[in-house]
Chains A and B, each alone.
Chain A
Amino acid sequence: MARRIAQPARMVALTIDDARVEAGEGDTVAAALMLAGLDRWRATPTSGAPRGLYCGMGVCFDCLVTIDGIASRQACLTPVAEGMRVETGAGKRRLEPKR
C-alpha cells in the first residue's frame, strides 16, 4: 500500500465505493485511492484489463472514476472534498433500455 512520509495538516472524509476513508486536504482522488490500498480501479473497455494511475497529470485518462455521480472524471486532477462520493470499477459501457 502506498504510504505517506508526512501527515497532512487537515483531513477530509469521503467515500470510495461506499466505504468511508480519510484523505488530506489538497490530495487528489488518485492519491486517496492509492492510500486506501487500491492500485487499479478501472477496466479497459476493449479487453477489461485493470488500470489505475499512470501519468498522474491529466493526459493518459487511465485513472477515470465516477465522482458524485459523474462518470469518467480524472482522479489525478480532481482534489478530494468533504463528503465526496467516489465509485471505481467502470469498464465497458452498457446502454440499458428504459423501462
Chain B
Amino acid sequence: MSEDRATTDSCDCLIVGAGPAGMAAAVELARAGRDVLVADENPAPGGQIYRNVAAGAPASIFGAEYVAGRPLVEAFAASGARHAAATTVFLIERRDDGGFDVALSHAGAARLVRAKTVLIATGALERPFPIPGWTLPGVITAGAAQTLLKQSALAPDAPVVLAGTGPLLFLLAAQYARAGISVAALLDATPKRNFRGALGKLPGFLASDNFAKGLRLIGEAARSTRLVRGVTALVAEGEGRLERVRFVAHGREETLEARALLLHQGVVPQIHLAMSAGVPHRWSEARLAFEPERDGDGATPVDGLFIAGDSGAIAGAEAARAAGRLAGLAIAARLGARAEASALDAARAAHAKALRGRAFVDALFRPADHFRKPADDVIVCRCEEVTAGAIRDLAQRGAQGPNQAKAFSRAGMGPCQGRLCGLTVAELMAEARGESVAAIGHMNIRAPVKPVTVAELAALARQD
C-alpha cells in the first residue's frame, strides 16, 4: 500500500516523543550515523518530566533529579537528530515493502514520512481518577499543576488541596513548599493494607536510590502542609466550579474550602499509537494497566516497531532513559550499524538496574478499587459524560465488552478517544460481567489517534 502516497520525507528511524526515552534513543541512533526524526507535541524537548529544563527552570524548586535532565536535552540538541516540535503523530501504518508510513500534523498541516523503523516513546498519562465532581473547573491533575509550575511558574488559586496516591503528590507538595506556594492539605488515599502487600518487595526498593529520596520527600511534604492519611472517600463540590472538597478519613467526614483540587493516582502508559499500529497489549494486574508486548530491548511483534520508556510500562524517568538508550542501540544494529555487543550488554544492565525497587512502588501506591471503579452516578467518560452506572447497566444487559459499550453509550467516542475512560470502562465491565480485565480487553483504538481535520487527511491522499 501507499507506494503512490505523497510522502514528503523519509528517515531511518522516526521517534515519537522527546522525553527521556526518545531523546536517549535519538542520541544513540545519531551517533551510529542514522537519520533520525523525533516528533513531539511540545514546543521544546524534555517530555513531561524535563519540561522547560533547558530554559532554566530552577533546581532550587524542582530538585537535582529534574536538573539532571539538562545534559540529556543538550546531548539531544547536539546529536544531529532532527526534531519536529509541536508536532502530533496521528497514524503509523506498515508498508508492504517493510518500514512505515507515519502521518504528522503540525500547525494544522499534515504530512507523511516514510520511516524504516519507528520507536514509540510517548510516555505516560495520569491514571483516570473518577470521583464525584472531577469534571468541575478547578479540579486538575497533579501532573497538570506541575506542568504549569515548570512552564509558567504558575500557582493555582488558593486554597489548594492535593489528593490521591503516589510519589508525585509528595513531590509536588515539596516543590510548592520550596516555591512558597501554600497547600491547605494533602489527602493521602493510599490504602493502608497496601503496605503489607508491598513488604515482600521492600528489599529491592531499599537497594534503590529511591528509598532515601522518598523518605525525604514525604518528610518535606509533611512539614509544609497538613498531611491526612487513610482517606477512603473523596468528593469535589461546587456550583459551576470547585468550591469544596469533602473527604472521609478514618471514618470521619470533613469538608475543606478549595479553589484547586489536584488529583493523582499514578500514571499509566499512553497506548493509543501502539494499539492503532497493531501491537498486541496485555493487562498487567501488578500495575493495573494495559501494556504493549515487547522484548527486553523494546522490539514489538510488529516488525520494525519498538517501544521504550513509560509508554511500554511505567518505570520512571531513569528507567525510560536506559530503555531509550537500549532501544536506540538495538534499532541501530537492525539498521546495519556495526554492532557493539559490549554497548548493548551495558545498556541492558543499566536498564535492569533502573527497574530495581519498582515492584515495591507499584504495590505500595496501588490505587483503591473504589477510586478506579466508582459509584453509579459518577461520570467516567468526561467527553460524552457517561456514568459508571450506564456502563454497568450495559454490561448487565449483555454488552460483551468496551467496544459494544462504546457503541451504545458513546463512552470513548469523544475527542480524547478513550484516553480518560478506557481503563475505567474495561475494569467496570470486567467486574460487572465477572470476567478478568485481561479477557474483557481495551476498547479498539484506530488511527487517526488524535483529531485531525478533513482537509489535513485530504492533503495526505495520493497526488494524481
Bound: A70/B109 CA distance, A: 12
Q: Are A53 and B155 in contact (CB under 8 A)?
A: no
Closest to A28 in B: B151
- Per-position contact with B for A1-45: 1 when CB-CB < 8 Å, else 0? 111111110000000000000001011101100110001100010
Q: Are A57 and B143 in contact (CB under 8 A)?
A: yes
A64 within 8 A of B: yes
A35-B154, A51-B137 known; A56-B147 Cβ under 8 A: yes
| Chain A residues within an 8 Å CB radius of B157 | 1-2, 39
Question: Residue A60 contacts which of B240, B241, B420 (CB distance < 8 angstroms)?
Answer: B420
Bound: A50/B382 CA distance, A: 12
Q: Are A4 and B152 in contact (CB under 8 A)?
A: yes
CB distance from B450 to the nearest CB of A (A): 8
A47-B385, A54-B382, A55-B125 known; A4-B154 Cβ under 8 A: yes
| Chain A residues within an 8 Å CB radius of B55 | 26
| Chain A residues within an 8 Å CB radius of B145 | 56
Closest to A6 in B: B153
Q: Are A59 and B416 in contact (CB under 8 A)?
A: yes
Bound: A52/B179 CA distance, A: 24
Bound: A2/B155 CA distance, A: 6
A50-B241, A55-B143, A59-B125 known; A5-B151 Cβ under 8 A: no
Q: Are A54 and B152 in contact (CB under 8 A)?
A: no
Bound: A75/B411 CA distance, A: 23
Bound: A7/B152 CA distance, A: 9
Question: Residue A59 contacts which of B138, B151, B181, B270 (CB distance < 8 angstroms)?
Answer: B270
A-side interface mostly: loop
Bound: A8/B151 CA distance, A: 10
Q: With a 10 A CB-CB cut-off, give which of B42, B180, B270, B382 has the most chain A CB atoms.
A: B382
A5-B180, A77-B41 known; A59-B420 Cβ under 8 A: yes
| Chain A residues within an 8 Å CB radius of B393 | none
Q: Are B154 and A60 in contact (CB under 8 A)?
A: no
- Per-position contact with A for B29-54: 1 when CB-CB < 8 Å, else 0? 00000000000011100001000100
| Chain A residues within an 8 Å CB radius of B414 | 61
Q: Are B385 and A34 in contact (CB under 8 A)?
A: no
| Chain A residues within an 8 Å CB radius of B141 | 54-56
Closest to B153 in A: A6
Interface residue tally on B, bucketed by range: 35 or more
Question: Residue B137 contacts which of A4, A40, A58 (CB distance < 8 angstroms)?
Answer: A40
A35-B154, A44-B385 known; A55-B240 Cβ under 8 A: no
Bound: A79/B107 CA distance, A: 11
Q: Are B416 and A2 in contact (CB under 8 A)?
A: no
Q: Are A2 and B415 in contact (CB under 8 A)?
A: no
| Chain A residues within an 8 Å CB radius of B126 | 55
CB distance from B410 to the nearest CB of A (A): 8
Q: Are B86 and A77 in contact (CB under 8 A)?
A: yes
B419 within 8 A of A: yes
| Chain B residues within an 8 Å CB radius of A61 | 383, 414-416, 451
| Chain A residues within an 8 Å CB radius of B224 | none
Q: Are B155 and A3 in contact (CB under 8 A)?
A: yes
Q: Are B416 and A28 in contact (CB under 8 A)?
A: no
| Chain A residues within an 8 Å CB radius of B153 | 4-8
Q: Are B152 and A27 in contact (CB under 8 A)?
A: yes
Bound: A6/B151 CA distance, A: 11
A54-B139, A56-B140 known; A5-B156 Cβ under 8 A: no
Closest to A77 in B: B41
- Per-position contact with B for A60-97: 1 when CB-CB < 8 Å, else 0? 11101000001010001111000000000000000000
Bound: A94/B135 CA distance, A: 24
Q: Are A57 and B147 in contact (CB under 8 A)?
A: yes
A46-B384, A55-B126 known; A5-B155 Cβ under 8 A: yes
Q: Are A54 and B144 in contact (CB under 8 A)?
A: yes
Question: Residue B148 contacts which of A34, A49, A64 (CB distance < 8 angstroms)?
Answer: A34
B108 within 8 A of A: yes
Interface, chain B (partner A; CB < 8 A): 41-43, 48, 52, 55, 86, 88, 108, 125-126, 135, 137-141, 143-145, 147-148, 151-157, 179-181, 240-241, 270, 382-385, 414-416, 419-420, 451
Query: 30 A-B residue contacts at CB 8 Å?
Result: A1-B157, A5-B155, A7-B153, A8-B153, A30-B148, A31-B148, A31-B154, A34-B148, A39-B157, A40-B240, A44-B383, A44-B385, A49-B135, A50-B240, A54-B135, A54-B139, A55-B141, A56-B143, A57-B48, A57-B147, A58-B88, A60-B419, A61-B383, A61-B414, A61-B415, A61-B451, A64-B415, A70-B108, A72-B415, A72-B451
Interface, chain A (partner B; CB < 8 A): 1-8, 24, 26-28, 30-31, 34-35, 39-40, 44, 46-47, 49-62, 64, 70, 72, 76-79
Given known contacts A55-B125, A55-B420, A56-B148, what 9 new A-B pairs fall within 8 Å (CB)?
A4-B152, A5-B180, A6-B153, A40-B137, A57-B125, A57-B143, A61-B451, A64-B415, A72-B451
